[in-house]
Structure formats: structure tokens, C-alpha cells
Homo-oligomer: A and B are copies of this chain.
Amino acid sequence: MPSQCVSKQTLQRLPTYLDYLKRQGTDPPKNISATAIADALNMNHVVVRKDLASISTSGRPKVGYDRVNLIRELEEFLGYDNADDAILVGAGKLGRALLSYDGFLQYGLNILAGFDTDPKAVNLEVGGKPILPMEKLEDLCERTRVRIGIITVPGDYAQAVCNLLIKSGILAVWNFANVHLDVPEGILVQNENMAVSLALLSNHLKERFSTK
């Protein structure tokens, strides 16, 4: 098994390859090369070759990959057969968007439930996921042994929610609140700032204009 450590960029492209490999019509080729995939997707040959090499060792020169085998390897890497569970706290607009986002399945990720303090939100279902009252959080974490918590509450509440998650056994936090979280050693925190990506794009655009 190749290293599990791939870049974010590679991770982002893997479902595209998988999707393409599966859409090969009624008489699919037995073997397929990285170059052929790159051409079909209008992508850089070197990028595709490196991406596939990082998750599979079965490619052969001049032959390429066994298509069915590569599909299996991609699915295995992306965790299709072994979904990871997560819970989410804060069922506002962003929280609900994440609860109903169907892209997580592509990566073998499953949000079990959302939690909120708002009585109007509690007991609703969003994207087929229940929104539960905060009082049930600890119990659900204990029963399901879920290890990933997603924070989509306003910044002022984020640290308190983070503390509760850690107390409930959460080991990894995906933080959408724009505040710095203090956590004990051993707890993973990944900060997500939706604005940063848009800011990057806007910066790239400015650079391009300023060099012309």
C-alpha cells in the first residue's frame, strides 16, 4: 500500500479520476494509461501520473493501469468501504449547507447529526441528518465513538463548543469559526476560513492584471 500522505491538491483530484474511470460506457477498455486519463480530462500528464502513483503501485509502463483495479484502489483510498463519522455543532446556514452537502460521501465521510441550542432548529432534519439538542451531544459521542467534530457556531461560542467536544472524546476539530481555538496537546485542529480561498483567487487575478 503506498503512503497515505497525499497533498490536498491530489486529494481534490482523485474523485475526478474515479468518476472518469467509471464512465467508460458499455465496453470499457481493460487497461488505461495516466496519459489517456489526462488527455480526456484536459489535464497535465505529469500531474495525473504523479497523483495515480501516489495511491497505486499497480501501473505498468506502456500498459498503464488495470481499470477495474485502479477503481478499487481509488475507492479504498477514499474510504468508500469504511466511512468516517463526524458530528457538527451549529445548524445555521453554513452548518445546514454542510449537513446537506453530498460531496462528503465521495471521500467516505459521513456527518451523523447536527447539534444546536435553538429550539426552532432542534428536531428538524437537514439533508437526512437530525438536528439534536446540545444535551444529547456527550451521550451520542460516547455511544458512537465519533472522533471528528465540526464547529459552525458564531465565533463567540466556538471555544466553549470546542471544550465540550473534547470533553466528549472528539480528537479532531474542523473549525469554521473565525477564531483561534486553544486545545490540549494531542487534539488536531483544522481551521477553515471560507473567505481565504476567495481571497486567494482575487489575489491571483490582481497579480495577473498587474503583470500585463
Which A residues fall within an 8 A CB radius of B? Answer: 4-6, 8, 11-12, 15-16, 41-43, 78-79, 84, 86, 93-94, 96-98, 100-101, 103-104, 106-109, 147-148, 150, 171-172, 174, 178, 180, 182, 188, 190-208
Give min CB distance, A206 to chain B, whole Å. 7
Q: Which one of B93, B178, B180, B192 lies within 8 Å of A197 (CB-CB)? A: B192
Chain B residues near A203 (CB, 8 Å)?
4-6, 11
Chain B residues near A188 (CB, 8 Å)?
201, 204-205, 208
* A79 to B97 CA separation, bound complex (whole angstroms): 28
Q: Which one of B78, B106, B204 lies within 8 Å of A178 (CB-CB)? A: B106
Indicate how many identical chains form the complex: 2
Chain B residues near A93 (CB, 8 Å)?
93, 96-97, 100-101
18 A-B residue pairings within 8 Å (CB atoms) = A5-B207, A8-B197, A12-B191, A15-B178, A42-B180, A42-B182, A97-B97, A103-B195, A104-B198, A108-B199, A109-B195, A109-B198, A148-B201, A172-B201, A172-B202, A174-B197, A188-B204, A190-B204
* A148 to B178 CA separation, bound complex (whole angstroms): 23
Q: Return the 6 tightest CB-CB contacts between A and B, nearest first.
A: A107-B199, A97-B97, A93-B97, A94-B97, A103-B195, A84-B202
**A199, B86: Cβ atoms closer than 8 Å:** no
Given contacts A93-B96, A97-B97, contact A190 B201 (CB under 8 A): yes
Name the residue of chain B whose CB is nearest to the CB of A208. B188
Name the residue of chain B whose CB is nearest to the CB of A154. B102
**B205, A172: Cβ atoms closer than 8 Å:** yes
* A192 to B107 CA separation, bound complex (whole angstroms): 14
* A43 to B189 CA separation, bound complex (whole angstroms): 13
Given A109-B198, A148-B198, 17 other A-B residues pairs in contact with their CB atoms under 8 A: A8-B200, A11-B200, A11-B203, A42-B180, A93-B97, A97-B97, A101-B194, A103-B193, A107-B195, A107-B196, A107-B199, A109-B199, A148-B201, A172-B201, A172-B202, A172-B205, A190-B201
